[in-house]
Amino acid sequence: MGTRGIGTQMIHLRQRLRLVWCKFKRLIEFLAYGLFDSLVLFGASRVPRNSNRVAVVNLELLGDYFLWLPFGKGLVAQLQEQGAEVVFVGNAAWIALVEQHFPGCETVGIEWKRLIRDFRYRMRVLRGLRVLGVSQVLHPSYPRDAIVEDAVVRAVGAPALGFDVGFSDRPKLDMRISNRLYSRLLPPIPGVHQSVRCAGFLRAVGVAFAAIAPDLPRPDPAGDLRGQRYILLVPGGSRGFRLWSWGKMAEIARRTLDRDPALLCVIAGTPAEQALCRRIADVLPEGRCLDLAGETDLAGFVALIAHARWVLCNDSAAGHIAAVYGVPSVVVLGGGNFGRCYPYPESAPVNRRPVCVWNDMPCFGCNWICRYGGTPPDRAHPCIERVGVEAVWAAVAGVMDGAILEAPVSNDHGA
């Protein structure tokens, strides 16, 4: 066997060992949290179920919420037409949007990370869910998380509908146990975009859904940006290994400003991403860049996207929000969950599909358990590092020229 063959075997062995460790660690966590939850809920008071009250549980990230939004509106509209009182149990990071998008719904916001790290908070939340008094739980998430999402379903304590799918890096035992919480489980729908699964969930519920993109009001941007022509850079994301190089993103911004002297470049991010955004702002022409990292709330962030000429981002919420509002966007992708959320299929009920740029590699679909181990947590995985500036610039230039109208995908085969 040659040196290359031995090297390939070592890469695959490293990947398998990481997967085994992830599953073992997760199993211990699942058993520990399950025991804690049993003690918390034992003897907890509950109220009689109200046959008109239905809970919709969606605790996913902001981008997943916007991807699900067109389907959620169809679901909630039909439930309300049938006279149901809808209780929306959602992620506290975006629960305020539910009041705008789903008027008339009762809301319960849950802080995902705090539910894992703060046991007093977890006890208070689980006991609070016990007294919602709903007759049914609808849980459309795909895949399901046993420690957080299924714990919420368990606490509510009503017959539940959800998908029979867990994460691939989790032990099968946690799904086997958690499946007992559901009165009806939908079969997996592998190898498709999330929008296809969302549509399948609605069909299972019996919703007569037409794939129509939601018509949402556009919140006003910050006063200084009203009437401005600007592009928006969102260089951050939920994981450091999924972020395209800030230097490459700055180069795209520089070329854009050179090409159109009337444009302003706005940079957005969370407080934790201020240093990252500042790096980009420091290398762009003075007076042509506005760094708003850490200075906008959720409504302000959505407004920035809704009024931008176009958006450049990673595999993050910004592209999904742009899709709903019909704003052109260019998204740099890796291969960890390729096809699950990006790229969008033609059937997706959005106002404009993002343009996606990626670099093909045979390891796509690794669920971010990278076979090329040793990558620091703040450095992008190889599949993202290899996306070249020229490929992204070609996509951006196409958007600027109006040549890319319905957002096909670009494929960067270069290093």
Domain residue ranges of the chain, discontinuous segments joined by +: 46-205, 224-411
pLDDT for position 351: 93
For residues 379 and 248, give the distance between their C-alpha atoms in angstroms, rounded to a whole number. 14
CB of 96 closer than 8 Å to CB of 298 = yes
String of b and e for 131-145 (b: at least 16 CB within 10 Å)? ebbbbbbbbbbbbbb
CB of 358 closer than 8 Å to CB of 380 = no
For residues 132 and 50, give the distance between their C-alpha atoms in angstroms, rounded to a whole number. 9
H/E segment holding residue 306 = helix 298-306
Name the token pair of 150: 């299924």
Report which DSSP code applies to 144. Answer: B
Reading the chain (415 residues) residue by residue, the pLDDT tens digits are 444 444 455 556 777 887 888 899 999 999 999 999 999 999 888 888 999 999 999 999 999 999 999 999 999 999 999 999 999 999 999 999 999 999 999 999 999 999 999 999 999 999 999 999 999 999 999 999 999 999 999 999 999 999 999 988 888 898 999 999 999 999 999 999 999 999 999 999 998 766 667 788 888 887 788 889 999 999 998 888 889 999 999 999 999 999 999 999 999 999 999 999 999 999 999 999 999 999 999 999 999 999 999 999 999 999 999 999 999 999 999 999 999 999 999 999 999 999 999 999 999 988 888 887 656 666 888 999 999 999 999 999 999 998 555 444 444 433 3
pLDDT for position 328: 96
pLDDT for position 372: 79
Fold of 224-411: Rossmann fold (3.40.50)
What is the C-alpha end-to-end distance of the chain, expressed in Å? 28
In the numeric block, the tokens 């444009």 are attached to: 263
**How many other β-carbons are positioned within 10 Å of the β-carbon of residue 265?**
23
Name the token pair of 414: 């270069």
For residues 325 and 215, give the distance between their C-alpha atoms in angstroms, rounded to a whole number. 8
CB of 150 closer than 8 Å to CB of 128 = no
> Taking the model in full, what pTM does it have?
0.91
pLDDT for position 7: 45
Give domain 46-205's CATH number out of 3.40.50.2000, 3.10.20.90, 1.10.10.10, 2.40.110.10: 3.40.50.2000
Q: Do domains 46-205 and 224-411 have the same CATH topology?
A: yes
pLDDT for position 161: 98
